[in-house]
A = this chain, B = another copy of it.
Amino acid sequence: MKSERFKIGWEKLKEVDGSAGENVVKSLKDIAPDFADLLIEFPFGDVYSRKELDLKSREIATIAALTAMGNASPQLKVHIQAGLNVGLTKKEIVEIIMQMSVYSGFPSALNGLFAAKEVFENEKK
């Protein structure tokens, strides 16, 4: 039986990441099903469900961090979509990524913008 944290996490995951989050969980089922549980319980059940910060601010932080790290392109795309899901505009997302040119350099910002371009184009379909 799944824990209360799991249930809270699962609802939060669906609210934030939508179907992309569910797909990540599914794709873990045959390789590391326990990790799917941890992914729901810790990031979403423990962290994103805390009241100290609204979801819009959380997604600004995550989009900025993943752009700056520059080595997590699939997760960046999930969170650009998540940003749209929780109410960030495309202009705001583009602006956050542009700002990373100052902190992690132009290549990280460029690759972030191309990730956004891909997500925004899928949105339209």
Chain A positions within 8 Å of B, measured between CB atoms, are 24, 27-28, 30-32, 34-35, 38-39, 41-43, 46-48, 50, 52-53, 57-58, 60-72, 74-75, 91-92, 94-111, 113-114, 116-117, 120
Contact = CB atoms under 8 A, between A and B. Distances in A.
Contacts of A104: 65, 69, 104-105
B64 A98 contact: no
B52 A100 contact: no
Contact of A53 (B70, B99, B107): B99
Contacts of A99: 47-48, 53, 58, 61-62
Given A53-B95, A65-B65, A95-B53, A30 B100 contact: no
